[in-house]
Amino acid sequence: MSHRRLTIVSLFSIPLLAFVWHFATEAVSCPLNTGLPYKKAGQPTIYYVTPECSRRPFANPALFFSYFKSWNAVVTADGPALAAVAPDKLGFMPWGPLYDPKYGALVKTVADPKVYLILNDKKFWITSETVFSALNYNWGWIEDVDAALLAQYAAGGEIAYTDHHPNYTLIKYADSPNVYRLEPDASDPNLQVKYHIPDEETFAKLGFRFDRIVEIKDTEVYPDKKPAGAPGTAPTSTVSTETVPAAPPAPDSEADKPTASPPVSTLSGVSAEFLTCPTQSERAAFDADFELRFLNYPATPTSSYPNTRWSEYPYQCDLTDKNPTRLTTYNTLRFLKHLEFDRPLPFTAGRTLYEYLTLKTLPADGTIYPKLVIEPVIDCNVYSTGGRGARAGGAAILKVTMSGNFSRLYPVLSGSATDIPAWPGAMRP
């Protein structure tokens, strides 16, 4: 049976046809040097001038650093010269040549709809949409990359089969947390065996991605490779996709130790310890790590709101009444800081959630992207009990804005150990 070539039309629907553009091959005249980043004096946005003399904005620092190693590469251009370069119709920057997609990535360039699987130092072309779906790859895994990045990988052949997965694919079965890598059998390269990755440390050392593990059908059977251990690595635990309890934060000192409430088991299965007061050093650390916006209180203290910082409602440390009226931002920050998983989250590149959030802060030169912002907001669609500030039926929403680039709403518990929101998805980061 013949297969259709993988195209943007069949993958993502008609409106995204704008993602594929014909790039001119003839030299063009441009008021600015192509292949460089530019910004207008006094403006934060940085643009990349393409070889076709169009400009694309960098949406975040990570994309910028996938092309350039330093902010010093940015050239300040006068307004008329930059305005003379037309906006690129693509509208976004793909990942650049310095980006490391890591093991098991699915990539394509913006000028070619072919999708490639990256395994080791080779790229494998997935020849059709039918093959892609049959092998249970996820459309959301596909990353747009610059052609120069794709050129760094040698051609590894085509994937045009559906009865098995390529060697060196990471797999797991639905009824088991165990993760395996497919490999050629040492005695017969035409046969495939599965190597059980014994623990997370081994997984990390091999440079694998937890968000690129393919779940396969139980009818797709491979014999085990023996021995299963990796040289020099002692198995300590099974790599799993389940969450594990987080350790409660340690106080700065016995004299500074806050009073603890009982541990709370959240709806996502994570145990958290909610404490009644942050220490002075904790407050200083939170102030340093985040831009904390204290609801909609005035920036200048008034008689009604004499102090809009840590000592003012709803941020003060009085949680003794056990009523859902004293949600404190610092308790949520503490939860983010000490929430742990037994695997890296897909978007954190192996870091803890708190490390990831605080990583994306204001660049040293202070020119683009605001510091990470945490701001309590009230979502009346979730809680409509009224009240001011963070009083909202026992919970509030923290809007976490990363790099000024996107936001997500995080439902959180109140400080009371007895107040657990009973709606689906509560406390899921």
Asked, for residue 131, whether it belongs to a domain, the answer is: no
213 and 313 both lie in a single domain: no
Taking residues 34-45, report their average pLDDT.
Answer: 89
Asked, for residue 288, whether it belongs to a domain, the answer is: yes
State the DSSP code for 158. Answer: E
Give the H/E segment covering residue 82. helix 79-83
Q: Structure tokens of 427?
A: 């406390």
Per residue in 358-410, pLDDT (tens digit) is 543 334 444 433 334 444 443 333 333 322 333 333 333 344 443 333 333 33
Q: 46 with 80: CB under 8 angstroms?
A: no
Asked, for residue 111, whether it belongs to a domain, the answer is: no
Q: Structure tokens of 115?
A: 């999708």
- In terms of DSSP bridges, do strands 47-49 and 37-40 run parallel, antiparallel, or are they unpaired? antiparallel
189 and 263 both lie in a single domain: no
Asked, for residue 141, whether it belongs to a domain, the answer is: no
Range of the domain at 308: 254-413
- The span from the CA of 371 to the CA of 388, in Å, is 26
286 and 392 both lie in a single domain: yes
- The pLDDT score that the predictor gives to residue 116 is 96
The residues, any chain, with a CB within 8 Å of residue 87's CB and separated by 6 or more, are: 54, 55, 56
Boundary of a domain, candidates 209, 240, 271: 240
264 and 336 both lie in a single domain: yes
Boundary of a domain, candidates 44, 66, 87: 87
283 and 312 both lie in a single domain: yes
The residues, any chain, with a CB within 8 Å of residue 247's CB and separated by 6 or more, are: 338, 340
* Helices of type H across 176-236: 200-205
Q: Which residues pair with 168 in a beta bridge?
A: none
234 and 277 both lie in a single domain: no
- Answer whether 0.75 is exceeded by the pTM: no
Per residue in 96-121, pLDDT (tens digit) is 999 988 888 999 999 899 999 998 88
Asked, for residue 287, whether it belongs to a domain, the answer is: yes
261 and 392 both lie in a single domain: yes
Query: Which of residues 18 and 199 earns the better pLDDT score?
Result: 199
Total number of domains constituting the chain? 3
**CA gyration radius, the chain:** 26
- The span from the CA of 278 to the CA of 397, in Å, is 20
Question: In the predicted model, is pLDDT for residue 193 greater than 70?
Answer: yes
263 and 408 both lie in a single domain: yes
262 and 388 both lie in a single domain: yes
Per residue in 134-148, pLDDT (tens digit) is 999 988 889 999 999
Boundary of a domain, candidates 87, 120, 140: 87
Asked, for residue 56, whether it belongs to a domain, the answer is: yes
189 and 269 both lie in a single domain: no
Asked, for residue 39, whether it belongs to a domain, the answer is: yes
Q: 104 with 62: CB under 8 angstroms?
A: no
405 and 323 both lie in a single domain: yes
Asked, for residue 117, whether it belongs to a domain, the answer is: no
188 and 327 both lie in a single domain: no
